Amino acid sequence: MYRVTVETQFQASHQLTLADGQEAPHSHNWLVSVAVETEKLDKYGLAIDFSELKEIINQETGKLGPGKIEDNPYFDNVSASAENVAKYLFISIKKRFDSEKKLEYVEVTEAIDCKGRYSE
């Protein structure tokens, strides 16, 4: 099995409702890490071209920022937590692959020590 991982960043704000109330709106430079697996390489010896995967990620993260993540309709009734941002991106990116490539996970870092990951 081959696995490639690509990381990219996007800027967006969010505002969570927590047990003790609602946070103030704030921004992050979100780091997104995406891993793709496949059993076969293409005729060029690649699982997926890094630039192709990065473009897919950037297209999907572009739907979340640079504004407020909650402006995306997916988050109308879903908290814009790192975990849910990872799930949203996983669902969106997975649709872009054929059956020979498996999206292993999407990990979202909102601060250096705060990450959320989603996989199926």
Cβ neighbors of 81 (< 8 A, separation 6 or more) are 16, 116
Q: How confident is the model at residue 22 (pLDDT cuts 50, 70, 90)?
A: confident
Residue with tokens 């103030």, as numbered in its chain: 24
CATH code of the domain made up of 2-118: 3.30.479.10
Q: How confident is the model at residue 19 (pLDDT cuts 50, 70, 90)?
A: confident
pTM: 0.94
Instruction: Compute how many other C-beta atoms are within 10 angstroms of the C-beta atom of residue 120.
Output: 10
